[in-house]
Amino acid sequence: MTAVVAGIGAVVPDRLVTNEMLAQRLDTSDEWIVSRTGIRQRYVAPPGCSTSDLAVGAAERAMQSAGVDDVGLVVLATTTPDRPCPGTAPVVASKLGLVDVPAYDVSAVCTGFIYALFSAAGALALGHTESALVIGADTFSTILDPADRTTSVIFGDGAGAVVLRRGHEDEPGALSGFHLGSDGALADLITVPDKYFRMDGKPVFMHAVRRMTESSRTVLAQSGWTAQTVDRLVGHQANVRILQAVSEQLGIPEDRAVVNLDRVGNTAAASIPLAMADAAKDGDLVAGHKVLLTAFGGGATWGAATLTWPDVIAG
């Protein structure tokens, strides 16, 4: 038995921040941001809108997409929990009206969604539950230093979620392979040392390309796929140049790489489910597509997964 994607949904807050708006208060420009990252705009949560609010919005859409009103497990990937303690997942479960279900947070920064997917898929494969909600949600705007142009231009807020159910490996939606890794010696590259998030962009770029490529190769081999098998590469939406480098090194044509970072920026744990939901809504990701997911994030952490896209309407 394995985990099968049964529904997907995503939300972004409605406060749009364009590059031009950032250039009015920071020493930066639309030209610099677009040429170095590919990002044109992002959405920012208004005061009072927390990570759990976005997570609930995405989860409701995913549950509607799956046609269910109940699940047996909630796993939430986030770096910006509502509070350091307790976890945010139980709050999300409660707001969704899910009573007595196991609910926990996963902390793996931008790789969080793949780690959370792995955790829930394991519980399903072992028969501990029949269904699960896997959510990636972040409000990075709450930890960005407004005076730091190197991070303020990159991140945006958002949430994405999938409903998984227990199913068979040959079903559409089936998750077929996983590879995860970490290297704590790189912990200082992406960190919140005090009040604000800090990132050493250049080495992060280099490690991200290397690890996303290696992890993808491992999971392709494990799934019995080649680069030619892959219809869509859904990589963590950090920087379009990272996505281009990874697809080039893997030998996957660049037009098979899903890109929505131009519209939403880097939404951390929300990035992959948000990109999948957007691509499905646009008709760019369709039933039967062989999909490769890969991410790199703070920790350092990285990972990749393969699945066959199901016949679902994204919410």
Active-site residues, by number, are 110, 236, 266
When binding is defined by CB under 6 A, the residue of 205, 222, 249, 284 that contacts ligand COA is: 205
Least spacing, CB of residue 30 vs ligand COA, in Å: 10
Least spacing, CB of residue 273 vs ligand COA, in Å: 16
When binding is defined by CB under 6 A, the residue of 15, 40, 95, 149 that contacts ligand COA is: 149
77 in contact with ligand COA (CB under 6 A): no
Distance CA 59, CA 93 (A): 9
Pick the closer one to ligand COA by CB: 37 or 88. Answer: 37
With CB atoms as reference, the residue minimizing the distance to ligand COA is 201
276 in contact with ligand COA (CB under 6 A): no
Distance CA 43, CA 37 (A): 16
309 secondary structure, DSSP code: P
24 in contact with ligand COA (CB under 6 A): no
Question: Residue 86: is the preceding peptide bond cis (ω within 30°)?
Answer: yes
By C-alpha distance, which of 43, 104, 77 is closest to 298? 77
Cβ burial of 73 (10 Å; 0-12, 13-18, 19+) is: buried
168 in contact with ligand COA (CB under 6 A): no
37 in contact with ligand COA (CB under 6 A): yes
When binding is defined by CB under 6 A, the residue of 135, 153, 292, 314 that contacts ligand COA is: 153
Least spacing, CB of residue 154 vs ligand COA, in Å: 6
Distance CA 120, CA 86 (A): 20
Rounded to 5°, angle at Cα 148 from 146 and 153: 85
181 in contact with ligand COA (CB under 6 A): no
Pick the closer one to ligand COA by CB: 103 or 190. Answer: 190
297 in contact with ligand COA (CB under 6 A): yes
Pick the closer one to ligand COA by CB: 196 or 225. Answer: 196
H-type helices in 67-111, by residue range? Answer: 89-95
Neighbour tally for 255: CB within 10 Å: 9
Pick the closer one to ligand COA by CB: 50 or 301. Answer: 301
Distance CA 30, CA 66 (A): 39
Neighbour tally for 147: CB within 10 Å: 10
Pick the closer one to ligand COA by CB: 52 or 239. Answer: 239
Distance CA 56, CA 9 (A): 10
Binding mask 207-246 for ligand COA (x = CB under 6 A): -x-----------------------------xx--x----
142 in contact with ligand COA (CB under 6 A): no
Neighbour tally for 269: CB within 10 Å: 37
Q: Which amino acid is at 97?
A: G
Tell me which residues touch ligand COA (CB under 6 A).
Answer: 28, 32-33, 36-37, 110, 149-150, 153, 199, 201-202, 204-205, 208, 238-239, 242, 266, 296-297
